[in-house]
Amino acid sequence: MYEAKKLGQILLEEGMVTEEQLEKAVEEQSKTSDSLGFILVKLGFITEDVLYHFLAMQFGVKFVDVSAIHIEEEVIKVMTPDIARKYKLLPIEKKPGKIIFATANPMDPSLTMNLKYDIKGGQELELSFVVTTQSSLNDAIDKYYPIGNALDETMKELEFSSENMEIEFLEDKKPKDEDGEEGDIEGNDSPVVKYVNYIIEDAVNKKASDIHINPYEKKIVLRFRIDGALVEMPPPKVQFKRALTSRLKLMAGLNIIEKRLPQDGRIAYKIPGGTKSIDLRVATLPCLWGENIVMRLLYSEAQNLDLTKLGLSEKQFSGIEKGLDAPYGMILITGPTGSGKSTTLYSMISHINDPHMNIMTAEDPVEYRLPHIIQVQVNPVAGLTFANVLRSFLRQDPDIILVGEIRDNETASTSVKAALTGHLVLSTLHTNDAPATITRLIDMNIDPIYVGSSVVTVLAQKLVRKVCENCKEPIKEIDLVKAKRSGIPPEILEGGTFFEGKGCPVCHYTGYKGRMAAYEVMPVNMGIREIIFKKGTLNDLKREAWDQGMFTIRESAIRLMKEGRTTLEEVIAETLQDKPLKDYIGKIKI
């Protein structure tokens, strides 16, 4: 805490932040385990470069941009790839009796305490450190210690020990705690454990949302889902298929012997050398050539949960804020799986989080840990369903209730009743647009009178990929024929600033890096309510919402394209099915 205050004081004295910004960052820090510097960057008050320049000043060390220097091979060889990744360090210079390392965390006491024992001859060397940015350090480690090279040694060990691998796993199985977490998964130095750890940590570094391990007759395919697209990674050899599967099933608390049925489990993984932890939902599926494994990465540390930073237009934000200010009612978020609904939901809760209110959540799983909030993990196997938890909440004097997802009539009915009895209820559904959410509730046998009386705001969203900032370049001409063919009037593209990514290592040569949401916000006003009460059609709801000024997901995506943040191809790919009603073709509001 002392160091964080000191950094804040330095930034304040140098005029890099205002007192108001610093106070807001300190308040945000109290809700998370993030450092003050990270929060200042996340809130957009300072850049990453500024943060690390002043961190270097704070600790009295030199700042070095490792992306701008060349490091000799002899220097790189002073530490192995696994040690470089374990400590998040990069050797940049070697002198007689001395090695200089670049780090993004000069506060880490293990740098000098343990590192001497993990590099050859380290106890006889003087180790000194310079500071660099986290992003440039990650890129440099990937450059000088590629994951493929880091795995070469592990692969050799795997080849040597593959015959006994299955027996070792069965003998070394450790008891699990009641949450299904296996103890000390990092302490095992066997080759397959190292390999699995590399996979998980590489996926985290690349900000992947899923890991796919697909078995075939003569190969294994390893893929990460990055920014919504599957990217192939260097795979292990096919003879390690059983060992790899057994290790992952063991970590997830699954039955290693059972290979005939699908299984679901969970891994709680702590990244070595830091405080970051991650949950992985593991699903296995018996296939022709073995068990297919898919792991969903759930980043438990709150990411960007600032509602003002989600990219909502001023009008859309106003509509959401009005709903959140309502004393009671229901706010619904809808969209396909993996469209960022949870992030939006948590951002709303964070926006209205107040220690003077009783906020309770029912989730499956609990994705982010939030302060001052009672969070409940749903467990259908044990009979703890969304509906059961929700009924229990009503006996706990709640002000605000979050229901992770409305999946059935029972949950929908209980949520609506809670919203009508003085509670603000937030939840999610799976529909293609905001108006369809209303008809979906009615299809779940909820009386239209109750639906119209309880729902105050509906937000629909889909994710589009962002043009890579590292390799983007302006487009001289946009394909107007393609736009018109896809239902986008060419005239509305006039005056736009269009970019595309040419492809680079940062974006894995895709031209895209990161994703953002295109939104559709529908406040349920009197006009919408009258249509619901009269049991109007979905098209009636769409016309009324559009006539009252609702921006559709497609219109929001086009706005992002005109701002140069995404591409025509992304707009078409993600919103092609969101075509307007026949009498609204060619009428797009931007």
Give the number of C-alpha atoms closer than 13 A to the C-alpha of residue 120, restricted to the C-beta side.
6
- Spell out where 317-391 has E strands: 329-334, 359-363, 373-377
Query: Confidence band (pLDDT; 50, 70, 90) for 263?
Result: very high
Are 552 and 579 in contact by the 8 Å Cβ rule? The answer is no
The pLDDT > 90 percentage for the chain reads 43
pTM: 0.67
452-486 as b/e: b if 16+ CB within 10 A: bbbbbbbbbbbbbbbbbeebbeeeeebeeeebeeb
Provide mean pLDDT across the span 281-307.
Answer: 86
Query: Confidence band (pLDDT; 50, 70, 90) for 524?
Result: very high
| pLDDT greater at residue 183 or residue 13 | 13
Q: Is the pLDDT of residue 164 over 60?
A: no
CA-wise closest residue to 354 among 21, 9, 31: 31
256 in a domain, yes or no?
yes
- Bridge partners of 28, per DSSP, are none
The confidence score (pLDDT) of residue 162 equals: 46
Is 391 in the same domain as 435? yes
Q: What is the pLDDT of residues 152-162, one digit of tens each?
A: 555 555 555 44
Number of domains in the chain: 3
Is 289 in the same domain as 314? no
CA-wise closest residue to 142 among 278, 54, 234: 234
Ranges of H-type helices in 522-587 = 526-533, 538-547, 553-562, 568-575
175 in a domain, yes or no?
no
The confidence score (pLDDT) of residue 185 equals: 35
Is 346 in the same domain as 264? no
Query: Rounded CA gap, 437 and 420, in Å?
Result: 18
The pLDDT > 70 percentage for the chain reads 86
581 in a domain, yes or no?
no
573 in a domain, yes or no?
no
Where is the domain boundary, 298, 318, 334? Answer: 298
Provide mean pLDDT across the span 166-171.
Answer: 39
Are 8 and 45 in contact by the 8 Å Cβ rule? The answer is no
CA-wise closest residue to 99 among 117, 124, 66: 124
Q: Is the pLDDT of residue 275 over 60?
A: no
The confidence score (pLDDT) of residue 33 equals: 65
Is 287 in the same domain as 330? no
Q: Is the pLDDT of residue 43 over 90?
A: no
- Lowest-pLDDT range of 103-107, 283-287, 324-328, 372-376: 103-107
Provide mean pLDDT across the span 511-515.
Answer: 90
The tokens describing 399, both together, are: 């002000």
Query: Rounded CA gap, 304 and 39, in Å?
Result: 9
Provide mean pLDDT across the span 452-468.
Answer: 95
Is 288 in the same domain as 354? no
The confidence score (pLDDT) of residue 3 equals: 44
- Bridge partners of 284, per DSSP, are 263, 293
Is 240 in the same domain as 336? no
Query: Confidence band (pLDDT; 50, 70, 90) for 400?
Result: very high
404 in a domain, yes or no?
yes
Q: Which residues contact 399 (CB under 8 A, 6 or more apart)?
A: 357, 358, 359, 423, 424
Are 401 and 375 in contact by the 8 Å Cβ rule? The answer is no
Query: Rounded CA gap, 77 and 115, in Å?
Result: 15
At 474, give phi and psi (nearest 5°).
-65, 150
311 in a domain, yes or no?
yes
Provide mean pLDDT across the span 97-108.
Answer: 86
Highest mean pLDDT of the ranges 90-99, 102-111, 392-401? 392-401
| pLDDT greater at residue 590 or residue 222 | 222
Query: Confidence band (pLDDT; 50, 70, 90) for 142?
Result: confident
- Lowest-pLDDT range of 262-266, 325-329, 577-581: 577-581
Ranges of H-type helices in 114-179 = 115-118, 134-144, 147-161, 165-172
The confidence score (pLDDT) of residue 586 equals: 47
Is 272 in the same domain as 328? no
The confidence score (pLDDT) of residue 26 equals: 86
548 in a domain, yes or no?
yes
Q: What is the pLDDT of residues 404-441, one digit of tens each?
A: 999 899 999 999 999 999 999 999 999 989 999 999 99
Is 360 in the same domain as 288? no
Is 270 in the same domain as 320? no
Residue 494: C-alpha distances to residues 472, 481, 559 (Å)? 20, 14, 12
CA-wise closest residue to 417 among 453, 443, 383: 453
Provide mean pLDDT across the span 98-117.
Answer: 79
266 in a domain, yes or no?
yes
Residue 121 domain boundaries:
73-145
The CATH number covering residue 432 comes to 3.40.50.300
Is 285 in the same domain as 318? no
Is 288 in the same domain as 345? no
* 357: number of Cβ within 10 Å: 13
* 123: number of Cβ within 10 Å: 8
The tokens describing 43, both together, are: 């809130």
The DSSP secondary structure of 178-232, one letter per residue, reads TTSPBTTTTS---HHHHHHHHHHHHHHHTT-SEEEEEE-SS-EEEEEEETTEEEE
Is 524 in the same domain as 405? yes
